[in-house]
Structure 1
Amino acid sequence: MSLNGVLRTSVSGMNAQSNRIATVAENIQNASTTGYKRTSTEFSSLLLESADRGAYNSGAVETTIRRSISENGAHAGTSSDSDLAITGNGFFVVRDQGGLPYLTRAGSFMIDGPTGNLVNKGGFTLMGYSLADGEPAPMLNGITDLQTINIKRMGQEAQPSSAGSVSGNLSDETPVAASAPPAVATYSKKSSLKVYDNVGQAKVLDVVMTKTGTKEWSVSFYDQANPATYPATPLTTTTVKFDSMGQTLGTPIATVTVPNGQAMKIDLSGITQLSGDFNLSGTANGSSPISVTGTTFGSDGTVYALYSNNTKKAVFKVPLADVASPDNLSPRAGNVFTTSVDSGEIQVGFAGQSGRGTIKSRALEQSNVDVGAELTSMIESQTVYTANSKVFMTGNEMIETLVNLKR
């Protein structure tokens, strides 16, 4: 073995430990970074063949950088509904300001004031599917069909009435009308019901009830804003029949199309015909325009808009992307990753499907760095580096001695 070989081997060993110290330093400084994945240095020997069986040619040490991207970090609870953590496999799909896509586990998303987008601390925007046209059909091996999840687009929303009910008592003591509407303008009881059209404007439906038999009533609905339709042209008329106990026979339903609104079904089965006074009440869903007060997320990635009237609506769905070999993804600044030749191509699906994890709101995935283990690695590297440096110094001294002998 030549003395020059000793020097080369020692330098190789010091370089290898320098790489290890570099990864330790990176891991420690990112120990508190959301979704950060630990980097490690693996060593392998490089041996050199010797033609002289009595001599030994020392080789070198090669280093390979490994990233524990598939290793999950612990979850820490937060108070923000838009903080998201993945339990299990998968990555959020995000885009930078230039529109380039990336994968990340860093789910510290906040609403960006100027744009209304959900952006994480690295400045990357969360992507998903709109539910405006129903359940999405994702492109399985691509992400070009994803949209920016934007809170401003949820905006104000009117909720047209689609269902309601009329319940209570119709007095059994009411005499039977001489004739039922619309032949003449006679009725036994009149009330009204407030409903909402497509733009959230309140409409009032007059509810005209006429006793047409000893156990039979006619219930008609009119647009109060159009009095000319009474009594000849009701929006709809339904017959309600009662048994000997004063309960409705069957399930009477009146289907009414709200003016400039939706077809709504009004349940009349809660009406009774008993002795005593009239005592009626009515309900209808829908509302005037309401504003979005926040968002919440389901474990399957569904994004719900929360409205000021304490209702919610599914508006987006966040997918999870995955690759065949996550540990071979290429890291980029901002705690994001891109695919590589060894990682495989992106496959897209939803949380809880095909081996993908679930999404947890009000939580963030912590770094998977173990600071204690990193400090141990640092001490080991320092010790080995120092030993290699002493070998180098000894070899250098031997060379100097050899040179002096020639002199």
Structure 2
Amino acid sequence: MSLYGTMRTGVSGMNAQSNRLSTVADNIANSSTVGYKKASVQFSSMILPTTNGAYNSGGVETDVRYSISSQGTFSYTTSTTDMAINGDGFFVVTGADGTPYLTRAGSFVPQEDGTLKNTAGYTLMGYKYDSNVDPTIVVNGFDGLEPVDLSGSGISAVPTTEAILNVNLPNGEAPGFQQKTSLKVFDSQGSSRLIEFTYEKTAANDWTVTAVEVEGGTTVVATQPLTFDAAGKLLTPASGQLVIDGYMINGAEVGGGVPAPAGGIALEIGNTTQLASPFSVEEGDANGNAASKVKGYEIDEAGIVSLAYENGDLVPQYRVALASVQSPDELNPVAGNLYTQSNSSGVIVMGYAGSSGFGSIISGALEDSNVDVAEELTAMIESQRNYTANSKVFQTGSELMEVLVNLKR
């Protein structure tokens, strides 16, 4: 047995326990850090070949691992822009240089420019949300992502572009019978306008609907014959849609103070019926909203970020992007509670919360560190004792080496 080998083995053991104590120190220091994932040390033996009956002591080497896939508990807050992921996935954030990173730390705070930054100063990324249609995701890259911007305008108005109005027309009435109903819509400046619909029976199974904008007079904005089959289902128009002429853009006016038509409203009427029942409105609604101030934000479990207005309207602006990899525990941790892709983690796949295996987003909550302080304190005591034992091995080898050297004296 080599005495030098014994001493090297003792040093190897002390280095290994020192590494373990370092991870314990990091874990305890970050036990209250949002989204922090604990580090641990795995030991493996280093064995040297034995020759001529002499045993050569090897040592121990360490491998640091991170429990990134282990989810922490949740703490609830009063901020709607705080977010936690319940399940798989990572938020995508960027630094000042535009480099994208992954993180589970969702403590985002609105900035003066409307962006959302976490406590480490990284900006949340997402996809622009338009007309309630999910944007197309670039599955294997960060293309198309942009900073989530909640600046908006202090006061916002959304004009009506789509509406629905389905009624039942009584089949037993004589030609000349009329019935009226109305819908409220909004112009581009947020003023509410009333469109009155008059249904008049012209013959068996035939009606005519006339839409009139009631504002400073009466302006016909649409007229359409309605034809029904023997079962009382709508045949004409075949599209099931009534197009209301362009409507009140920028508040422009024509003679008589009536807003000039521009734009247009697509009115769905495909489920209008003619049955042996009194006139009734089965469905009626219109998009758009009046001029209103922003009072806050709302983020749903699908990650859709909406501006909340004082009138109760929610206007979607962005959808938070989530990313995943095949082996989350193999990601490279970097400062700021961030992660980057490694050769062992697999490729990054983009998606949305609640779909394709991604977890849901909890607004007003933060993911706690997954560190168990009691477990770390136990590991610290074990490492301290093991370090002391390895130091005794080194000390004994040193003392034996001294005895060997002194034999010559």
Matched residue pairs, number?
377
AA at the equivalent of 2:64: I
Specify the alignment match of 1:277 in structure 2.
none
TM-score after normalising by structure 1: 0.78
AA at the equivalent of 1:135: D
Q: How does 1:46-61 map to 2 (within 5 A)?
A: 46-53=46-53, 55-61=54-60
2:189 matches 1:199 = yes
Q: Secondary structure at the match of 2:391?
A: helix
Cα offset for 1:191? 11
CA distance in structure 2 between the partners assigned to 1:389 and 1:75 by the alignment: 42
Cα offset for 1:311? 1.3
Query: Could you say if the C-alpha distance between residues 190 and 220 of structure 1 is closer, same or farther in structure 2, counting changes exceeding 3 Å?
Result: same
> What residue ranges of structure 1 are gaps of 5+ in the alignment?
168-175, 178-187, 241-248, 275-281
Q: How does 1:44-123 map to 2 (within 5 A)?
A: 44-53=44-53, 55-112=54-111, 114-123=112-121
1:89-118 Cα shifts (integer Å, max 9, x gaps):
111111111110000011111111x21111
Cα offset for 1:297? 1.7
CA distance in structure 2 between the partners assigned to 1:153 and 1:293 by the alignment: 11
AA at the equivalent of 1:297: I
- Indicate the larger mover: 68-77 or 292-301: 292-301
2:234 matches 1:235 = no
Specify the alignment match of 2:171 in structure 1.
none
Q: Secondary structure at the match of 1:352?
A: coil
Q: Secondary structure at the match of 1:406?
A: coil
Specify the alignment match of 2:403 in structure 1.
401
CA distance in structure 2 between the partners assigned to 1:347 and 1:250 by the alignment: 47
CA contact (8 A) 2:68 2:328 kept: yes
AA at the equivalent of 1:93: V
CA distance in structure 2 between the partners assigned to 1:67 and 1:392 by the alignment: 31
CA contact (8 A) 2:289 2:313 kept: no
CA distance in structure 2 between the partners assigned to 1:343 and 1:101 by the alignment: 16
Specify the alignment match of 2:22 in structure 1.
22
Specify the alignment match of 1:152 in structure 2.
151
CA distance in structure 2 between the partners assigned to 1:283 and 1:44 by the alignment: 68
Cα offset for 1:353? 2.6
Query: Could you say if the C-alpha distance between residues 223 and 353 of structure 1 is closer, same or farther in structure 2, counting changes exceeding 3 Å?
Result: closer
Cα offset for 1:220? 5.3
Cα offset for 1:295? 1.8
CA contact (8 A) 2:13 2:390 kept: yes
AA at the equivalent of 2:375: A
Query: Could you say if the C-alpha distance between residues 189 and 128 of structure 1 is closer, same or farther in structure 2, counting changes exceeding 3 Å?
Result: closer
Q: How does 1:6-405 map to 2 (within 5 A)?
A: 6-53=6-53, 55-112=54-111, 114-132=112-130, 134-153=133-152, 156-160=156-160, 162-163=162-163, 195-203=185-193, 221-223=211-213, 234-237=220-223, 256-257=244-245, 258=247, 259-263=261-265, 265=267, 286-405=288-407
Query: Could you say if the C-alpha distance between residues 364 and 165 of structure 1 is closer, same or farther in structure 2, counting changes exceeding 3 Å?
Result: same
AA at the equivalent of 1:67: Y
Q: Secondary structure at the match of 2:407?
A: helix
CA distance in structure 2 between the partners assigned to 1:311 and 1:301 by the alignment: 18
Query: Could you say if the C-alpha distance between residues 238 and 342 of structure 1 is closer, same or farther in structure 2, counting changes exceeding 3 Å?
Result: closer
Query: Could you say if the C-alpha distance between residues 296 and 57 of structure 1 is closer, same or farther in structure 2, counting changes exceeding 3 Å?
Result: same
CA distance in structure 1 between the partners assigned to 2:286 and 2:91 by the alignment: 40
CA distance in structure 2 between the partners assigned to 1:57 and 1:193 by the alignment: 91
Cα offset for 1:212? 10
Specify the alignment match of 2:281 in structure 1.
none
1:126-170 Cα shifts (integer Å, max 9, x gaps):
111112263212111111221111101476232427448799xxx
Cα offset for 1:13? 0.8
1:227-246 Cα shifts (integer Å, max 9, x gaps):
5xx6xx73345799xxxxxx
Alignment root-mean-square deviation, CA: 4.0
Q: Secondary structure at the match of 1:235?
A: strand
CA contact (8 A) 2:108 2:116 kept: yes
Q: Which has the larger radius of gyration?
A: 1
AA at the equivalent of 2:359: G
1:272-307 Cα shifts (integer Å, max 9, x gaps):
xx9xxxxxxx99764332232222222222222211
Query: Could you say if the C-alpha distance between residues 211 and 358 of structure 1 is closer, same or farther in structure 2, counting changes exceeding 3 Å?
Result: closer
Query: Could you say if the C-alpha distance between residues 206 and 58 of structure 1 is closer, same or farther in structure 2, counting changes exceeding 3 Å?
Result: closer
AA at the equivalent of 2:186: Y
CA contact (8 A) 1:37 1:368 kept: yes
Cα offset for 1:384? 0.7
Query: Could you say if the C-alpha distance between residues 142 and 404 of structure 1 is closer, same or farther in structure 2, counting changes exceeding 3 Å?
Result: same
TM-score after normalising by structure 2: 0.78
CA distance in structure 2 between the partners assigned to 1:145 and 1:193 by the alignment: 38
1:43-88 Cα shifts (integer Å, max 9, x gaps):
11111113321x2211111111111111111112222211111112
Query: Could you say if the C-alpha distance between residues 127 and 189 of structure 1 is closer, same or farther in structure 2, counting changes exceeding 3 Å?
Result: closer
Cα offset for 1:190? 11
- Indicate the larger mover: 327-336 or 313-322: 313-322
Cα offset for 1:195? 4.1
